[in-house]
Amino acid sequence: GATIGILGGGQLGRMLSVAASRLGFKCHIFEPGANPPAGHVADAVTTASYEDDAALRAFADAVDVITYEFENIPTSALDLLETLRPIRPGREALRVSQDRLVEKEFLAGLGLKTAPFADVASRADLDTAMETAGVPGILKTRRFGYDGKGQARIMEVSDADAAFEAMAGAPAILEGFVDFSHEVSVIAARGVNGEVACFDPGENVHRDGILHTTTLPARLSGAQRTDAVLLAGQILNALDYVGVMGVELFVTPKGLIVNEIAPRVHNSGHWTQDGCVVDQFEQHIRAVAGWPLGDGSRHSNVEMLNLIGDDMDQVPELAKDPAVALHLYGKAEVKAGRKMGHANRVLGAA
Ligand code: ATP
Ligand code: MG
Ligand code: MG
């Protein structure tokens, strides 16, 4: 059988490994950190830095196709790996999603609605940006932000100095605040032959900048549902994408606004494990392996609850609930803000 190489050994790599193994593939993880969650389920793990060319070469030699669980893979490693094996999703998806400014320009270039945004390379830029993108707004680092990290809110103009300091010299963008009623996301997939399949949009609630729950079905009109799925397909096609992507959307009276895209399986797609015949992890493996895709249809309504830090205390109670499926990541140490697992509560037939 073929071997799938996965860059990154966190919980997403772990759940991708489980799905790959269920389809008869072998899995090889590349991860700089010791004792990664994916290490317990994968067939092989390379523990090495992304600067270690020899380790990258040996990893590529051992696999048939390379995919990843996070978008911030160093460019130098990708430059080497792409000469050795196919990388799916491809470089263009990474280039676009690694930088919030490039991403916003790409989305706007497709004619999709985004928050008003402006480049902030200097303190003087921020003054201009507050006029063009608006206040209140959120200053965000262009690169490396996740779970609301690398962001500072500007509620009034006098917050500008503190927000700029918080970026610690990193290039940033200012986004005008979007007045949304709620947040949804589409988990979409595209195969090697260009076929597209989308899961139904889920409704997301964040707490302290981190995803808290995803609920299916989302509160959306039929027209909004169609719009969400069509715009996701447009993004995938524009990138000649192969794999699963998460598309985060704000729902507003003026339509759907794209917040950001993630070129990988996505936390807001974990509900598919207990709501669909083919979940997002199997879907991603099918796509990168060149298989036909599952159609994305949902057999059950689900509420996904993230278990973050001390939320793990709820596990004994959740385990008694016959409607709940637990997915725990096997992380040795509980830390505040760390994603330890999730619980999918099946709400009934869809
Ligand atoms: P993730 O973990 O999803 O990658 P992130 O750190 O990349 O998160 P964003 O998705 O940009 O951060 O923002 C986190 C949350 O902050 C959003 O889900 C939304 O609730 C809020 N938010 C972000 N940008 C805006 C905006 N322009 N207007 C209003 N709310 C926003
Ligand atoms: Mg993000
Ligand atoms: Mg986000």
Q: Give the distance between the most distant pair of CA atoms in the chain.
A: 60
Task: Please give the distance, rounded to the nearest whole angstrom, from the Cα atom of residue 344 to the centre of ligand 2.
Answer: 22
Class level of CATH domain 182-349: alpha beta
Q: Please report where in the chains the tokens 């690398």 appear, as a residue.
A: 150
Of 241, 279, 293, 289, nearest in space to 262 by CA: 241
Task: Please give the distance, rounded to the nearest whole angstrom, from the Cα atom of residue 341 to the centre of ligand 3.
Answer: 18
| C-alpha–C-alpha distance, residues 161 and 63, integer Å | 49
| C-alpha–C-alpha distance, residues 105 and 94, integer Å | 14
Residue 92 has pLDDT above 90, yes or no: yes
Q: What is the pTM of this model?
A: 0.97
**According to the model, what pLDDT value does residue 341 have?**
98
**According to the model, what pLDDT value does residue 43 have?**
97
**According to the model, what pLDDT value does residue 1 have?**
77
DSSP 8-state symbol, 201: P
**According to the model, what pLDDT value does residue 253 have?**
96
pLDDT band at 289 (very low <50, low <70, confident <90, very high): very high
Q: What's the mean per-residue pLDDT of the chain?
A: 97
Task: Please give the distance, rounded to the nearest whole angstrom, from the Cα atom of residue 259 to the centre of ligand 3.
Answer: 7
Could you tell me the two tokens for 138?
Answer: 């959120």
Residue 257 sits at φ, ψ, to 5 deg, of: -115, 130
**According to the model, what pLDDT value does residue 295 have?**
96
Q: Are 246 and 187 in contact (CB under 8 A)?
A: yes
What mean pLDDT is predicted for residues 180-195?
98
Reported ipTM: 0.98
**According to the model, what pLDDT value does residue 340 have?**
98
Instruction: Establish whether 149 is an annotated binding residue.
Output: yes
What mean pLDDT is predicted for residues 83-105?
97
What mean pLDDT is predicted for residues 15-39?
97
Residue 204 has pLDDT above 80, yes or no: yes
Domain ranges of the chain: 3-87, 116-176, 182-349
User: For ligand 1, which residues put their CB under 6 angstroms from it?
Assistant: 115, 138, 145-149, 175, 177-178, 183, 206, 209, 248, 259-260
Q: Each residue of 171-183: pLDDT tens digit?
A: 999 999 999 999 9
Q: Each residue of 223-267: pLDDT tens digit?
A: 999 999 999 999 999 999 999 999 999 999 999 999 999 999 999
How far CA 1 is from CA of 4, 21, 285, in Å, comes to: 10, 10, 14
**Which atom of ligand 1 lies at the shortest distance from residue 115's CA?**
27
**According to the model, what pLDDT value does residue 315 have?**
98
Question: Could you say which of 3.40.640.10, 3.30.70.100, 3.40.50.20, 2.102.10.10 is the CATH number of the domain covering 3-87?
Answer: 3.40.50.20
Instruction: Establish whether 147 is an annotated binding residue.
Output: yes
pLDDT band at 273 (very low <50, low <70, confident <90, very high): very high
Residue 269 has pLDDT above 80, yes or no: yes
Instruction: Establish whether 175 is an annotated binding residue.
Output: yes
**Residue 315 burial (CB count, 10 A):** 15
Report the CATH architecture of 116-176: 2-Layer Sandwich (3.30)
Question: Which one-letter amino acid corresponds to residue 4?
Answer: I
Could you tell me the two tokens for 14?
Answer: 């772990």
Beta bridge partners of 249: 184, 258
**Ligand 1 mutation target, pool 104, 120, 206, 259, most atoms within 8 A of CB:** 259
pLDDT above 70 covers what percent of the chain?
100
**According to the model, what pLDDT value does residue 331 have?**
95
**Residue 206 burial (CB count, 10 A):** 13
**According to the model, what pLDDT value does residue 233 have?**
98
